[in-house]
Amino acid sequence: MAETVTHPKTEWTTIHKNGPWKLKRLHITTNEGSTHLPSATGRYKDTANEIRRLIGEARDQGEGFRAFGSRWSMSQVAHHPDSMHYNRYMNLHIPVSGTDIHQNSPYEEENLFFFQCGTTIKRISQVLEAHGKSLKTSGASNGQTLAGCMSTGVHGSAIDVGSVQDYVVGINLITGPNPDDNVYLERHSKPALSDSFAQKINARVIRNDELFNAALVSMGGFGFIHGIAIEAEDRFLLQRYVKKIDKEIALELAETMDFRNSPFKIDEETGPDGKGLKPYHYKIFFNPYNDEKKYVVELMYKKPYTVPYEDPFNTIENSIYTDLIYLLIKISEKWPRTIPFFIKRLEKNILPEVNEKSLGTLYETFWDAQYKGPAFAFSVGIDHKDSTKALEVLSKMTSEEGPIPGIFAMRFIKRSEATLSFARFPVTCMLEIDGVQWKKSKKLMSQKEYGRRMIEVLQQNNIPFTLHWGKNSDWSFPGLVDHMFGEDAKKWKAYRNSLLSPEMATVFSNDFLIDTGLDEALPPDPGLIVSLG
C-alpha cells in the first residue's frame, strides 16, 4: 500500500528561500512498489485512496491541506500553515492506448500521455524521448512538477505554442475524502480519454469546457491534482542563437513580432525570398541601470529531429543566458555581495558580449537550473504591443525609486484558454525582473514595496497587465485580481465553489487565495458542473 511519512515541522520555505512561513506537518506519500503491485493503474488507485485518507484527516481536524511540487514558486502560493503534502515521489506514468482513448478524440493516440502529479518536467521529457516525442514547451529549466507548472501557468517563450497548461487535455482531481470525490475533467469539445479509462482509475467523468478551463490554472485551489493527461508532439530540434542586436530593433520585434520585415535577420533562418523567418522562441535580456545601445536576444527555430547533431551541452551548460536568475547571479559573483556595491556595478556593467549557437531537443535546451540560493522574481504579463511602454515605465521607476539588485527579460507567449492564465493577451509579453534577495534599508525599498510600485505604475499608465502566480508581488494589493481578470475571476470562483463543497473549499484554501480574494465563498451552482459530453 502507498505509504505516507508525516514529519512534525515548524516552518517551510521555497527553493529560493522566499519564506520561511509556519508549518505544523509535512506529509510525504510514496506509491506502492511495482513488485508488490505490478499494475501502474493499481498503484495509482491505491495512492488515490491514501490521498483521500489524508484529506479526510485534515477535514476532521478542521485544518487545511495543501499539495506542493518542487517548491519553485516564489510567492506563498504553495504554502499552508497546517498540513502540506510533498508530491515528488508520486511520479507514475500510466500508458494510454486503444480503449483508453475517447472515440471522438481529436488527438493522435500516440501523442497522449498520462502522468501522476509529482512527475518532473525532466522525467516527463525522458519518458517522451523514449517514445520519439517531446513536450511542446516548458519553462527555462526542468525541475518543476507537471501539476505545479499547470497550477501557476508556467511558460517559456514559445510564441505560437503557449504555456504548460495549454497542452493539458485531462485532469484527475481528488476533491475530498469520499470515493465519489475522485473526478476526471476534460473539455467536452475535445475529449481525450474514454469513460472506461476514467473507470479504471475509479474517477467520475465531467466533460465541460468552462469547468476544465477554470481548473487548469488553479493555484492548488480546486483540490488535489492526482494525474494529468497531456498531448505531446513528435520530437524536434531547436536551433538556438544568442546575439546582441540594436535595442530599437529588439524592441520593435517585441511590439510587432514582424520578423519578416525586420532589418535583423539570421542568414540561415530566412525563407526562399530571403526574408527573416518567425522563430519558435524570442527572448530579450536587459539591464535597467545602463542604457545600453544593444540588447542580448535569444532566438530559437524549430527543426525536424534528425541525427546525428552536435552535442549541445558544451554550449548550454556554459551559457549564462539560460535563465534570468542564473544570469544575475553569475554577474553578481564578480563583486563582493553587498547589495549597494553590486547595484553600483550594475550601473556600469553591460551584459557580456555573446555569439552563441547550439542545436538540441527541447529537453536538452531547457536544462537543469544551476542556482538554488536566495532569489526573487517579479513577472508581469502585458500585451506585446505595450511591451516597450511597460519596459520604459518600469525601468524608470526601478532606477528612480530603486535601485534593486535585479535585471529584466521579456518572453512572449500565445493566449491561453485557462480562465486565470496570465497569458491573457493574444501575444502576451512576460516582462520579468529577477535578482538576488535584498533587505529593506534607508536606501532600498522592500521587495513587497517594489511589487506594489510595479502594480501602481502600470495602473497609472493605463497598461493592462497580469502577474505570474508563482512569482513575488504585493499579492494583497486591493482589488488586484479583479483589476487583472475582471469577470473571469468571478467565473473561476463560481466554478470552484460549485465543484468543491464549502467544507472542502476551506480545506484547499490558503493565505495566498485569501490575500487575493480568490477564496471567496459563493453559492454553488450545480448547473456549472454538469458533464456536457
Ligand X SMILES: Cc1cc2nc3c(=O)[nH]c(=O)nc-3n(C[C@H](O)[C@H](O)[C@H](O)COP(=O)(O)OP(=O)(O)OC[C@H]3O[C@@H](n4cnc5c(N)ncnc54)[C@H](O)[C@@H]3O)c2cc1C
185 binds ligand X (CB under 6 A): no
Tell which positions 447-486 bind ligand X, by CB under 6 A. 468, 470
Report the amino acid identity of residue 437.
Q
Give the closest residue to 147 by CA, choosing from 113, 195, 115.
115
CB of 156 to ligand X, least distance (A): 6
Rounded to the nearest angstrom, the gap between the alpha carbon of residue 104 and the centroid of all alpha carbons in its chain is: 29
Question: How is residue 65 written as a grid cell?
Answer: 491541506
In whole angstroms, what is the distance from residue 139 CA to residue 141 CA? 5
CB of 500 to ligand X, least distance (A): 12
In whole angstroms, what is the distance from residue 332 CA to residue 350 CA? 13
Name beta bridge partners: 134.
233
Q: Which is nearer to ligand X, 67 or 135 (CB)?
A: 67
CB of 155 to ligand X, least distance (A): 4
* Contact residue for ligand X among 18, 31, 105, 145 (CB under 6 A): 145
CB of 144 to ligand X, least distance (A): 3
Nearest-10 crossing angle of helices 487-499, 209-216: 100
Q: Which is nearer to ligand X, 148 or 279 (CB)?
A: 148
238 binds ligand X (CB under 6 A): no
2 binds ligand X (CB under 6 A): no
498 binds ligand X (CB under 6 A): no
* Contact residue for ligand X among 144, 165, 182, 365 (CB under 6 A): 144
| Residue 281 backbone phi and psi in degrees, to 5 | -140, 135
220 binds ligand X (CB under 6 A): yes
141 binds ligand X (CB under 6 A): yes
383 binds ligand X (CB under 6 A): no
Report the amino acid identity of residue 281.
H
87 binds ligand X (CB under 6 A): yes
Query: For ligand X, which stretch binds (CB under 6 A), given 28-36, 39-47, 150-158, 439-447?
Result: 150-158
Query: For ligand X, which stretch binds (CB under 6 A), given 69-77, 343-351, 478-486, 521-529?
Result: 69-77
Give the closest residue to 222 by CA, choosing from 213, 230, 231.
213
Contact, 228 vs 67, CB < 8 A?
no
Contact, 87 vs 110, CB < 8 A?
no
DSSP tally for the chain: helices H, then strands E: 16, 22
191 binds ligand X (CB under 6 A): no
* Contact residue for ligand X among 55, 96, 124, 140 (CB under 6 A): 140
In whole angstroms, what is the distance from residue 284 CA to residue 247 CA? 10
Question: Between the CA of residue 47 and those of 36, 58, 370, 420, what are the distances in Å?
Answer: 14, 17, 32, 29
| Residue 49 backbone phi and psi in degrees, to 5 | -65, -40
What is the x/- site pattern for ligand X, positions 334-373, by CB under 6 A?
Answer: -----------------------------------x----
407 binds ligand X (CB under 6 A): no
71 binds ligand X (CB under 6 A): yes
In whole angstroms, what is the distance from residue 423 CA to residue 415 CA? 5
151 binds ligand X (CB under 6 A): yes
CB of 387 to ligand X, least distance (A): 17
Count of beta carbons in the 10 Å neighbourhood of residue 272: 5
In whole angstroms, what is the distance from residue 467 CA to residue 450 CA? 14
Tell which positions 7-66 bind ligand X, by CB under 6 A. 15-16, 66
CB of 325 to ligand X, least distance (A): 6
CB of 488 to ligand X, least distance (A): 18
Query: For ligand X, which stretch binds (CB under 6 A), given 146-154, 185-193, 237-245, 253-261?
Result: 146-154
Size of site (CB under 6 A) for ligand X: 36
Q: What are the DSSP calls for 487-519, one per residue?
A: HHHHHHHHHHHHHS-HHHHHHT--HHHHHHTTT
- Give Cβ neighbours of residue 5 (< 8 Å, ≥ 6 apart): 27, 28
Q: Which is nearer to ligand X, 76 or 239 (CB)?
A: 76
* Contact residue for ligand X among 48, 96, 154, 253 (CB under 6 A): 154
Q: Is the dihedral of CA 361, 365, 370, 375 positive or negative?
A: negative
Report the amino acid identity of residue 514.
I
CB of 509 to ligand X, least distance (A): 11
Binding residues (CB under 6 A) for ligand X: these are 15-16, 66-73, 77-78, 87, 117, 139-141, 144-145, 147-149, 151-152, 154-156, 219-220, 224-225, 323, 325, 369, 468, 470
